[in-house]
Amino acid sequence: MIRTMPLAPEEIEYVRKALGREPSREELAILEAEWSEHCSYKSTKKLLRTLPTKAPWVLVEPGRDAGAIRLFDDVALVARIESHNHPSAIDPYNGAATGIGGIIRDVLSLGAKPVLLLDSLYLGCLDDDYARWLAKGIVKGISDYGNRVGVPTAAGQTWFAKTYNKQPLVNVACIGLVHPGKILEGRVEPGDIIVLAGNTTGRDGLLGSSFASKPLSGNEEDLAAIQVGNPFLEKLLIDALQEAFKKHVLRHVKDLGGGGLATAIIETAAQNNVGFRVHLDRVHLREHDLSAVEIIVSESQERMLLVPYRDKLGELLEILDRYGVEYSVIGYFTRSKRAVFLYRGIPVADLPVELAVNPPTPRREINPLPPPPPLPKLEADIVDTLIRVLRSPRVGSKAWIYESYDWGVGGRTIGVPGAYDAAVIWLRDGTLRGFAAALHGNPRYTRLDPFRGAALSLAEAYRKVASVGAEPLAVLDNVNSGNPEKPWQHAYTAAMIEGLAWMARGLGLPVIGGNVSLYNEDSEGNMIDPVTSVLVVGRVSDVSKVFPNSLQGCGPVLLAGITEPELGGSEVAEIILGKPVGRPPKPRPSMEKRVAQLAKLLAQEQLACSAHSVGIGGVLVALAKMTIRGRRGLEVSLKTVCEKCTAFEAAFSETPARILFEVKEDKLDLVYEYAAKLGVPVKIVAMPIKQEKLVIKINNYMHQISIDTLVEAYTWAEKNLVRPKGD
């Protein structure tokens, strides 16, 4: 295990000088975990400081296990996003499952009750046997863990591309609820007792944080870094902690995630300017021959650091006993500001806490990125292209994924997955209040232009939340990129964070948390397509008024926003040319805000009966999906969508800041009035028809497609690439 630690020679020399002696192997293991990219963010910390994090409604900023906002005066929303990329590439089932377990515990650490899971999956081509095996294992891991632990997985997105055939990206998020006054402050003092509760400590997950902070080797030793989950134990831990929260017996809780025991306690001590003494031989173990160093850095799952109030230790232990949750009282915090681990009474590690949490900052170079390949003039048969786009796994039905999730457990989820552009969750507190959440990322945009790619990913998640009628409030991000030691790869990381910061400021949204996953490159050292997954959460005042994205038959469909001839980085460009080409569309934060305000107003006054964000594939694809989901016909005028565009551009342009609204016939004048006041261009682009058809008007010709034909195309990928292949 020590041989695989990638501490740089200069870092080891730095430790020698700081200590004035040779570090012990336990100390080296501690520093390897703490100084890994996964835990320290040493290559990105400076970049991440550019993100806006403050707003009057922010209760917990980045730095804790999760972020928090004031959703309503009496309700706080707690959220966390995390990647489990490397583990899922080696062991897709356990890698994805333990990612779910980890983010649930992060939300628990603030005293919240987990109520929603989301996932953003970047998978390989489904016609590749290995990629399909990875995809199915990842989906099953998320499904089994979330279903068994009793938290619904009700929203997310899935992207398919060859770049992820062997190395998928798995980003997962969790949202919880708590009263604002009951958020755990994370404070500890000298003399406070340290309790380790939950699963036994074993050899699974050894140095997992280091494993996630270097390129995959493909060696058998990587398997030792994969954690194995136990959702039934996690459910017991959740229930025990919920009772402990209600009885106010805990002052601090922290997940044992990356870096295991060492990182959890050291980070707690650093945040509170204290030290600690921990007895490793008091830890409850799975294998009784574990060495001190293995106990320190094991990342066995379902374990949490608990710090009770001084007079509440007995009450805490009684609760844990009653729920059958194992625990060990392993030490206490001190005034020394030193991290001391003892094994059988002998100190095996004695480090300044300040040294452990402050690695030397590496020098990272950034090379200028080349411009994206130019986009040639695109023209093709519009009806044929629509069918081809709907058959794309990126656009088509994802029912094979969300049908495996228990999206309705807990009775809070409004509608089935896919019925709304964002997940809508009811508080179930005697009111109709709730929240909305959407997760989005676009690797194609990001590969072509990382600044625009990250900005547009945030814009799309924001728009999805807005399109149900919610008020977007906060952002969490997951930056997935390449090797920071290579200047051209690190340039993507820097540009994505810059684009994310720019768009967040433009939208007036704080970033309350996030994650960075680096070293995502193949065995030849080539970066797999980078992407920033963005989670946006928003307030819903009345869940009975949110917009579905299926046609309801109440009136014409209006397009809010401006359409430009922007096919760069689009789905149709890749389908026609066989590769991503061109510069992605221009982000438009000001228009995004105005369109979102219009959506909120239309929902409050019930002036529309459905809405759908325009994203990948453009307006025609969005309209086709509305007809598919509502089984109602439309007649579409492409000339109305964009007068200066060709019909092809009007159909498939991916210009952002656009939402389609199905407006009640007798409310059109009022909608026009509100849109004008907000400065939002609106126009009727489709009219309802009685036949179950999509009729497209192109240059005075009418092209008809039955809804059955659209459905056949929309479900083609899962029928032909997923389900026939068996389990």
State pLDDT tens for residues 590-633. Answer: 999 999 999 999 999 999 999 999 999 999 999 999 999 999 99
**Residue 3 pLDDT more than 50?**
no
C-alpha span between 286 and 539 (Å, rounded): 44
Residue bearing the bigger pLDDT, 230 or 453: 453
Q: Which of 259, 246, 199 is closest to 38 using CA atoms?
A: 259
Report residue 384 CA to chain centroid gap: 34
Mean per-residue pLDDT, 646-660: 97
Domains of the chain by residue range:
548-727
User: How far is Cα 560 from Cα 614, in angstroms, rounded to an integer?
Assistant: 10
Task: For Cα atoms 478, 57, 512, give the angle at the middle one, nearest 5 degrees.
Answer: 15
Residues linked to residue 440 through DSSP beta bridges, in sequence order:
534
DSSP structural state of residue 501: H
Nearest to 513 by CA among 475, 483, 547: 475
Cα(465)–Cα(103) distance, integer angstroms: 21
- Give the pairing of strands 75-83 and 113-123: unpaired
**Which is nearest to 587 in space by CA: 447, 481, 460?**
460
Cβ–Cβ < 8 Å for 427, 410? no
Q: Which has the closest alpha carbon to 330: 387, 262, 378?
A: 262
How high is the pLDDT of residue 39? 87
Q: In Å, how far from its chain's centre is CA 458?
A: 11
Starting at the edge strand found earlier in the chain, the sheet holding 346-352 runs 250-255, 303-308, 193-198, 327-334, 275-279, 338-343, 346-352
Look-up of token digits 């990587």: 222
| Distance in angstroms (rounded) separating the CA atoms of residues 257 and 103 | 9
CA distance 651 to 605: 30
Note the pLDDT of residue 1.
44
Tokens 């232990």 sit at which residue? 317
**Which residue has tokens 């835990």?**
39
- Using 50, 70 and 90 to split pLDDT, how confident is the model at 673? very high
pLDDT reported for residue 216? 58
Average pLDDT, the chain: 93
Q: For residue 332, how many other CB atoms are within 10 A of its CB?
A: 18
All residues at 6 or more sequence positions from 91 whose CB lies less than 8 Å from its CB, including other chains: 137, 223, 226
Angle at 79 between CA 77 and CA 81, to 5 degrees: 165
pLDDT in tens, 419-449: 999 999 999 999 999 999 999 999 999 999 9
Strands 633-637 and 693-698: parallel
> In which residue are the tokens 């509440």 written?
312
Angstrom distance (rounded) from CA 698 to CA 703 = 7
pLDDT tens per residue across span 67-89? 999 999 999 999 999 999 998 99
pLDDT > 50? residue 304: yes
The answer to whether residues 262 and 117 touch, using CB atoms and an 8 Å cutoff, is no
Angle at 548 between CA 543 and CA 551, to 5 degrees: 150
Dig out the tokens for 61 from the structure.
């900023």
Separation of alpha carbons 32 and 27, rounded Å: 8
**Regarding predicted confidence, which is higher, 208 or 554?**
554
First to last CA, the chain: 35
Confirm whether 288 is a catalytic residue: no
The 10s digit of each residue's pLDDT in 371-404 is 999 999 999 999 999 999 999 999 999 999 999 9
pLDDT band at 258 (very low <50, low <70, confident <90, very high): confident
Lowest mean pLDDT among 2-6, 148-152, 271-275: 2-6
| 38 given a catalytic annotation | yes
- Mean pLDDT along residues 278-285: 96
Eight-class DSSP state of 720: I
Please give the average per-residue pLDDT across 239-249, as a whole number: 97
**pLDDT at residue number 133:** 94
| pLDDT for 712 | 97
Question: What is the structure's pLDDT at 524?
Answer: 87
Residues in the chain: 727
Query: Per-residue confidence at 205, pLDDT binned at 50, 70, 90?
Result: low
What pLDDT band is residue 699 in, cutting at 50, 70 and 90?
A: confident
In b/e form, how buried is each residue of 660-692, taking b as 16+ CB within 10 angstroms?
bbbbbeebbeebeebbeebebebbebbebeeee
CA–CA distance, 205 with 207 (Å, rounded to integer): 6
For residues 546 and 482, give the distance between their C-alpha atoms in angstroms, rounded to a whole number.
39
Q: Which pLDDT value is given to residue 203? A: 85
Burial class (CB in 10 A: 0-12, 13-18, 19+), 616: buried
Q: Tell whether the torsion through CA atoms of 133, 138, 143 and 144 is positive or negative.
A: positive
Which tokens hold the place of 707? 């809804």
Q: What's the Cα-to-Cα distance from 570 to each of 334, 580, 615, rounded to whole Å? A: 57, 7, 10
Cα distance between residue 423 and residue 415, in whole Å: 8
Angstrom distance (rounded) from CA 619 to CA 622: 5
CATH fold group of domain 548-727: Phosphoribosyl-aminoimidazole Synthetase; Chain A, domain 2 (3.90.650)
- How confident is the model at residue 317, as a pLDDT? 98
| Range name among 35-44, 231-240, 546-555, 591-600 with the lowest pLDDT average | 35-44
Written as six digits, the tokens of 641 are: 């969508």
